[in-house]
Amino acid sequence: MAGRRIGATAVGLVFTWGSAAPSLASARVTDGVAWAAPALPAMMMLAKKKKKPAAEESAPGPSLTPEAAEAKRKEIRDGVAGAKESGDFAAVADGLQGSAEELGDPVTMLEAGEARLEQAKKDRDADAAQAAIETTRVALDMLHFYAAVDAGAASSDWLVIAPADAGGLIEQADAQIEAAEALIKEIEAEKTQAAGGTVAAADDKKKKRKRKKRAKGDGPAEGTGFIAAGSIFTVIGIGGAGMGVGGLAVSSSKQKEVEKHMMGDPEVADLDKAGKRANILGYAGLGVAVVGLAVGLPLIIVGAKKRKAGKSTPSAAARASERAWSIAPSFGRGGTGLVVQGRF
- Three-class DSSP category at 30: strand
CA distances from 67 to 74, 112, 159, 167, 251 (A): 11, 21, 9, 19, 120
Q: Residue 217 corresponds to which amino acid? A: G
Four-point Cα dihedral 180, 185, 186, 188, nearest 10: 120
Q: Per residue of the chain (344 residues), what is the pLDDT tens digit? A: 444 443 443 344 343 334 433 333 444 444 444 434 334 333 333 334 445 454 444 455 568 999 999 999 999 999 999 999 999 999 999 999 999 999 999 999 999 999 999 999 999 999 999 999 999 999 999 999 999 999 999 999 999 999 999 999 999 999 999 999 999 999 999 999 888 776 666 777 777 776 666 665 555 666 777 788 878 888 887 887 887 787 777 777 767 776 666 666 667 667 677 777 877 877 787 788 788 778 878 878 887 777 777 655 555 555 555 445 555 555 555 555 555 555 54
Give the integer Cα–Cα distance in Å for 165 and 139: 14
- Three-class DSSP category at 105: coil
Per residue in 162-175, pLDDT (tens digit) is 999 999 999 999 99
Give the integer Cα–Cα distance in Å for 277 and 247: 8
